[in-house]
A = this chain, B = another copy of it.
């Protein structure tokens, strides 16, 4: 619970003044283990890590600064940027009165924006038109809500672009997909696979959908990380987005739309978090280094605090996000647990022995490794450590993800792999009816399997390979699995 509740350790009072209450390490840990009870672990860690508060409207959550800062970091770093069944939320009343006409809350902005695209685009010189907005959308879903992963209101960016030619549109689809890959892999340290959605899974309004797919080993479910759609000319037909090309002829614009959401934060939590709490990659952590003074009796307490302050200043001047936890009503041990819960990548401890040796002790959040660092070369070593942690998180996550991938050729192998909660790579005949059939046949307690994506990087298909499900000639390799 945020703030640690009211648990105090009371010192023995022998009259006189009130002794200072110092909170020790009580009641701070998670009660659920990630590998044993993943769903409960997740619900608990996002609250204990102070990212989320639950709210009395189902599917809506309070996003706290510890998570918002990650969202804002991603916004800064990237300066460029569905046949979803909209359960559209309708406003029908204001105060006590009924509205004359009910008003929809945007689940996405195509229908709001494209009439204006039609107005703004007249000639080829008005193209390309590229707009991106960061905003909130509402989709009144009825599937299991999960903080960040699936909520009824969420934050996102939605890019909507229009081009004179299909090839420009195709190029941008892949450029944006690459940006999304980099957000996941280089910032969130989460491995993803670039792929194309099947006809059944693509955005129904568009021509084709590309995606970056992640996988959550603890639940054996794939999760769509972000999508970059080519809308073709479907919307320009519908909204009359017509321009005069260089030859003076009327032509319809080619459009794309692309988005990623606060789901990214949930994926990061699920992939890296552990039983001590959140684990934040340095590249998105708002606090990268937490400095904890470790006084011992009366041994130069002021000197220790001064060294901590100086350390924070030195690191901050070098562009590292460092803070000191100088609160005197919490013990060092309590602070260790607290900042581990919040996932801060690196902890620095300074006690009397460290002070005497002009060094600090650095402790990594990801693997618990401890190392003593001389204060003289602190900035370089800390930068190295943060880079190592970032790299290490990614490598570990990729290893875990890769271990989940199973290549199959037959239906029996497929079912067995599904039971083992794998991300399954199988040769497929690429027919929609076959995909529907797979979904129907695998429905059950454990959820139905579907295509996650067809990887852009296709392994070779040996001559004569048959589809794992239909037995017809296989056309492409596809990833299948259960999914969020």
Contacts and interface: CB of A to CB of B under 8 A. Distances in A.
Contact of A125 (B57, B131, B136, B327): B327
Interface stretch (A85-93, A262-270, A304-312, A403-411): A85-93
Contacts of A6: 122
A53 interface: yes
Interface in A293-334: 327, 329
Contacts of A126: 3
Nearest to A152: B94
Size bin of chain A's contact surface: 35 or more
A92 B94 contact: no
A2 interface: yes
Copies in the complex: 2
A38 to B, nearest CB: 26
A120 interface: yes
A10 interface: no
Interface string A74-101: 0000000000001111111111000100
Nearest to A328: B125
A156 interface: no
Contact of A94 (B87, B93, B131): B87
A444 interface: no
Interface in A108-145: 112, 116, 119-120, 122, 125-126, 131, 135-136, 140
Most buried by B among A89, A91, A116: A91
Contacts of A88: 94-95
A3 B122 contact: yes
Interface string A1-32: 01101100000000000100000000000000
Given A126-B3, A131-B65, A92 B92 contact: yes
A102 interface: yes
A94 to B, nearest CB: 3
Interface of A: 2-3, 5-6, 18, 53, 55, 57, 62, 65, 86-95, 99, 102-103, 105, 112, 116, 119-120, 122, 125-126, 131, 135-136, 140, 248, 327, 329
